[in-house]
Amino acid sequence: MAKIEEKMEVLHNKPSNIRNISIIAHIHHGKTALTDSLIAGAGMLSMEKAGEAMKTWTLDEERERNITIQSIGVSMVHEYENTPYLINLIDTPGHVDFGGEVTRALRAVDGAVVLICAVEGVMPQTEIVLRQAIKERVKPVLFINKVDRLLAELQITPEQMQQRFLKTIADFNNMVHELCPEEFKDKWMGNVNDGSVAFGSAIDRWALSIPIMKKTGISFADVIEAYKGSQEEIKEKLRKLSEKAPLYQVVLDMAVKHLPNPIEAQGYRIHKLWHGDIESKAGQSLLKCDKDGPLCFVVTKVTIDPNAGEISFGRVFSGTLRRGDDVKLINSNTVTKLQQIFTTFCDKRISADVIPAGNTAAVIGLKNSTSGETVSSEDIEPFEKITHIFDPVMTKAIEPKNPQDLPKLVQALKEIAKEDPTIVVLINEETGENLILGLGELHLEWTEQKIKHYKHVDVKTSEPIIIYRESVKTKGPEFEGKSPNKHNKFYMTVEPLDQGVYEAMISGEIGDMKIRKKDKDTWQVLEKLGLDKDEARGAKMIHNKNLLIDMTSGQVHIGEVIEMVMEGTKQALDGGPLAREPVTGVKVKLMDMKLHEDSIHRGPAQVIPAVRSSVRGSMLNAKPMLLEPVQTMRLDAPLNFIGELTKLVQSRRGRIIDMDQTEERVVMRVKVPVSSSFGFISDLRSATEGRGTQSLMNSRFEELPRELQDSAIKKIRDRKGLKIEQEETEQE
């Protein structure tokens, strides 16, 4: 291990010999077993234990549930064509409820090995993680895993095996072509002939690609033959196969040859992830991955260690991390000192004095950092916010069993919010009500366990509560919002957001941001998506899939008050007029304003309430509506259970979108409201005698049926302690 550490230290300074990669896939497609083999190939695990040790499972719950819950980084050295390369690898979860871990990990890497099961093929979560990767400009390569299962279960011929592989590759390439920007469409597709596609068995530790097959002389028929005979004969054949074509060699060779180094990747990634001045010193350093430029370290994961405190893991995009240096946390506007820096190996940390640009690293000393935080030696523009493809759709109220533990619970929730930003924590220290908002039942269940077992607070939680959204159906009138002192007036309108712009926000193509005069690229994107030219140039802020536009002209003091207008708009959008649920899909326009001449009379305490009131007032006159979360799911079951599946979906206010069937199986794509989905998986198993499976394909907000709107609003307002009758705006 000491020799490996020495090699790593040398390679830290050779960015052309570094590959930052992630393993991504649908649940149970073999990511962690594959990672085991890669670790073993690097000499850090016995090869006999690879596929069983599950080295990146550092939590007891991961072994109990047989799933990856958190992303884990591992640095290793791999030799390709007699040249050593540093591989900084992150193993990620496959369960959709922990997809936020995947999103955050992808910010730190430049390439991804996408695993697809040879039997199941492309599954819903495969598309989701690939979409996340391409959104972060992370280049994919393909590994078709579980060929052992293909042979054991289907007993196919070499020709059938080849056809199945070709179909999986075609499905993968179709997704890449659909999801990629024009400049990457052809470059990033898998090519079976050049070795950017491989196949094998992580559990049996062998892999092949067309170049390797030509080099070794191994054929499809040889692979099939290896799985024939007695158990002892098969074991011996597979041992020889894994020695002749070791999995780690094939996969890591593929990563070195086909995935970019940090210098190459940052040349195109920075344009997407950083919206500062690219011609500035910091911009040029980021583009070139310059270790001598200003420090820019982006935090992608925060863990709370009982002994070491907060550990911030992330990527050094520019400059060099140096132990003892003072740095600035740009988002939180605080200065702190780098106490210790490390490279990582699962739950172990290897201390270092310096870690230059192009590497991943862990840091102690960045107190109060969160995922997405930009850390720099200078005042620079922060990196684009890390946003997950799905929003939280479920919440629980949580409280300590012993009231005296309330301060401990509040502290635990604050730590949870740092560790997992996809869990939204709402703490009301006045009323004592605390809410945790998550991506699904398992996500909330794991968070509750974490608080009990790792934060040592005994808690009780409510039944899951559904999170709704508010929006509008039509354009609202100009509504006058007066400041408390009556000296300032704002006139704002709301209307449904243009569909193209809204879809781009949902897909993650456009994220939350403040838009400045120099952001011409953003104007052009908004115009291209269907926004009027004048509106695009007046765009000031994107917030939670809503857009604020300044349509005023000749306003002398607009520069002084625009930040306060943004804050007032945010507050109105964070809690709509119907039930104080977040607003989505709305275009807010500032049409006019009348301000007091003296700046002392137009401060935040005057402007923010007036703007908030104006937005809510226009919303109430624009046919406001409640949106509910609806999940699109794929259901797989034997054909004879088609009737039971149909009844199950219809009994839960769901609907069937389409259906494919073969002689033996049926695949249904259905939409089911989240409010009707509790216990769905257990009911599916009962209805199909345990032979049905469910996968989440998509999750978005759709209009709640009109007949359910009033009762849902009343129930939410009652739960929140708001007046039951619909609230009017804050006007006299």
CATH code, 611: 3.30.230.10
Burial pattern 470-508, b for ≥16 Cβ within 10 A else e, equals bbbeeebeebbbbbeeebbbbbbbbbbbbeebbbbbbeb
* 572-621 pLDDT tens trace: 999 999 999 999 999 999 999 999 888 888 999 999 999 999 999 999 99
Cβ neighbours for 535, distance < 8 A, ≥ 6 positions apart: 526, 549, 551, 587, 589
The CATH number that applies at residue 312 is 2.40.30.10
Angle subtended at Cα 684 by Cα 679 and Cα 685, rounded to the nearest 5 degrees: 105
Predicted pLDDT at 730 = 40
- Same domain for 604 and 679, yes or no, is no
Closest CA to 207 of 241, 169, 173, 231: 241
- Same domain for 252 and 182, yes or no, is yes
Q: What percent of the chain has pLDDT over 90?
A: 60
Distance of CA 313 to the CA centre of its chain: 16
Q: How confident is the model at residue 519 (pLDDT cuts 50, 70, 90)?
A: confident
- Same domain for 613 and 687, yes or no, is no
- Same domain for 83 and 197, yes or no, is yes
- Same domain for 11 and 148, yes or no, is yes
Closest CA to 198 of 232, 223, 230, 225: 223
Predicted pLDDT at 729 = 43
- Same domain for 456 and 503, yes or no, is no
Mean pLDDT (whole number) for 151-175? 89
CB 33 within 8 A of CB 41: no
Of the given ranges (517-521, 643-647, 686-690), which has the lowest mean pLDDT?
517-521
The CATH number that applies at residue 91 is 3.40.50.300
Q: Is residue 202 part of a domain?
A: yes
Name the range with the highest mean pLDDT among 114-118, 399-403, 414-418, 519-523: 114-118
3-state secondary structure of 724: coil
Quick check: 14 pLDDT over 50? Answer: yes
Cβ neighbours for 65, distance < 8 A, ≥ 6 positions apart: none
Q: How confident is the model at residue 349 (pLDDT cuts 50, 70, 90)?
A: confident
Mean pLDDT (whole number) for 59-85? 89
Cβ neighbours for 649, distance < 8 A, ≥ 6 positions apart: 635, 655, 656, 668, 670, 672
Predicted pLDDT at 430 = 56
Predicted pLDDT at 155 = 77
- Same domain for 436 and 525, yes or no, is no
* Cβ-based neighbour number of residue 58 at 10 Å: 14
Question: What is the span of the domain harbouring residue 636?
Answer: 626-708
- Same domain for 603 and 478, yes or no, is yes
Residue 117 belongs to what H/E stretch? strand 111-117
Cβ neighbours for 19, distance < 8 A, ≥ 6 positions apart: 85, 86, 87, 88, 110, 111, 255, 256, 259, 260, 261
Mean pLDDT (whole number) for 660-674? 88
Q: Is residue 325 part of a domain?
A: yes
- Same domain for 253 and 275, yes or no, is no
Angle subtended at Cα 493 by Cα 488 and Cα 499, rounded to the nearest 5 degrees: 150
Residue 448 exposure: Cα atoms within 13 Å on the Cβ side:
22
Mean pLDDT (whole number) for 29-39? 91
Tokens standing for residue 343: 């490279």
The CATH number that applies at residue 407 is 3.30.70.870
Measured CA to CA, the distance from residue 540 to residue 611 in angstroms comes to 15
Q: How confident is the model at residue 432 (pLDDT cuts 50, 70, 90)?
A: low
Mean pLDDT (whole number) for 513-518? 80
Three-state SS letters, 9-49: HHHCCCHHHEEEEEEEECCCCCHHHHHHHHHHHCCCCCHHH
- Total domain count, the chain: 5
- Same domain for 372 and 403, yes or no, is no
Measured CA to CA, the distance from residue 223 to residue 257 in angstroms comes to 25
Quick check: 175 pLDDT over 50? Answer: yes
Measured CA to CA, the distance from residue 68 to residue 133 in angstroms comes to 18
- Same domain for 47 and 149, yes or no, is yes
End-to-end CA distance of the chain: 73
Q: Is residue 243 part of a domain?
A: yes
Q: Is residue 301 part of a domain?
A: yes
Q: How confident is the model at residue 725 (pLDDT cuts 50, 70, 90)?
A: very low
Predicted pLDDT at 45 = 77
The CATH number that applies at residue 697 is 3.30.70.240
Q: Is residue 720 part of a domain?
A: no
Q: Out of 622, 648, 666, pick the residue that ends a domain.
A: 622
pTM: 0.83
- Same domain for 574 and 549, yes or no, is yes
Q: Out of 260, 285, 316, pick the residue that ends a domain.
A: 260
Compute CA distances 330 → 136, 196, 367, 370, 706, whole Å.
21, 38, 13, 11, 45
Q: Is residue 574 part of a domain?
A: yes
Q: Which residue has the tokens 């393993």?
A: 23
| Mean pLDDT of the residues in the chain | 90
Higher pLDDT, 28 or 262: 262
Neighbour-count burial of 203, counting CB atoms closer than 10 A to its CB (0-12 exposed, 13-18 middle, 19+ buried):
buried
Predicted pLDDT at 605 = 95
CB 684 within 8 A of CB 692: yes
By 3-state DSSP, what share of the chain in percent is helix, strand and coil, each rounded to 5?
A: 40, 30, 35
Predicted pLDDT at 728 = 44
Q: Is residue 388 part of a domain?
A: no
Q: Is residue 384 part of a domain?
A: no
Higher pLDDT, 507 or 26: 26
Predicted pLDDT at 732 = 36
Predicted pLDDT at 85 = 94
Mean pLDDT (whole number) for 519-547? 90
Q: How confident is the model at residue 727 (pLDDT cuts 50, 70, 90)?
A: very low
Q: How confident is the model at residue 429 (pLDDT cuts 50, 70, 90)?
A: low
Closest CA to 125 of 175, 165, 195, 163: 175
